[in-house]
Amino acid sequence: MRLHTINKNLVSLAQQQYLHCHLCEHHCGSNRAKGERGKCKASAEARVFRHRVEYGEEIELVPSHLFYLSGCDLRCAFCIAEEKAFNPRIGTILSTDFLEAALEQGISKGARNLQWVGGEPTIHLPAILEAMSGCANLPPVVWKSDFYGTPEAFQLLEQTVDVFVADFKFGNDVCAKRIAKVDSYVKILQRNLKQVSQYSDLIVRHLLLPGHEECCFRPIVDWISSTLPDVKFSIRNGYLPRWQAKQYEELSMPLVKGASESAKVYAENRGLNLIT
């Protein structure tokens, strides 16, 4: 990983999205600079509702300094961040001064990188690039995303991000629509993963959901095995029935005993490059 700076021209290019936003696949076209709000409800300001050095990420990333931005383009019923993920007006406004001061704290605690999480960072891409562009010593950048962004959005990140962490949540469009309220989910995720894998280090992460092994986990594993067999794959077993999960019968319960071990065996048998 490398220390790097952000090109001011790249920031200006990204900021054009505020006038006609197509950062995510909702393609709302909102003029965020004039107060129009799309499905994510985000403005031209990004807000951080929490930042801290964490050790629960994949081993190759920790300790990682996570910056949680409010606002999201998905509406996952089981979101552990709950209302903070969906209200882009919660938190401290992101600025270079705020970011530099926070990064100093993180470095003093041993952080190896700066990781943008959410909510969803991609909807705040221009503000994030602007804040980072003013930092004198920017650490390696990790971008944890739901990957529902547009190709144009990921292209803006091509020279900036060292590692992408993609949350591949659903293995079919029915579950994605029912639980996260988004359309054409699988096609969009697969397209973006193939794009990013060509130029960046990529970790595909899947959170095991109760009752979704056959419909979601296995189709995701099968596709990765056949299309991106060398990509790093991370199985997460920390599901909790939070937020609005209890509105869905299967999601109201924790994972059944042995679900994680069964998932690992299936992924290993399909030849995936498992990491922890």
pLDDT tens-digit readout, 216-259: 999 999 999 999 999 999 999 999 999 999 999 999 999 999 99
CB neighbour class for 106 (10 Å; exposed up to 12, middle 13-18, buried from 19) = buried
Please give the model's pTM, rounded to 2 decimal places. Answer: 0.96
pLDDT by residue (tens digit) across 155-209?
999 989 999 999 999 999 999 999 999 999 999 999 999 999 999 999 999 999 9
- Is 28 assigned to a binding site? no
- Is 79 assigned to a binding site? yes
- Is 76 assigned to a binding site? yes
CATH topology of domain 8-270: TIM Barrel (3.20.20)
Flag whether pLDDT at 144 surpasses 70.
yes
Q: What percent of the chain has pLDDT over 70?
A: 99
Say if CB 141 and CB 42 are below 8 A apart.
Answer: no
Average pLDDT over every residue of 122-131: 98
Flag whether pLDDT at 1 surpasses 70.
no
Residue 142: Cβ within 10 Å count = 25
Average pLDDT over every residue of 4-31: 94
Q: Nearest 5°: phi and psi at 84?
A: -65, -30
- Rounded distance between C-alpha atoms, residue 271 and residue 190, angstroms: 19
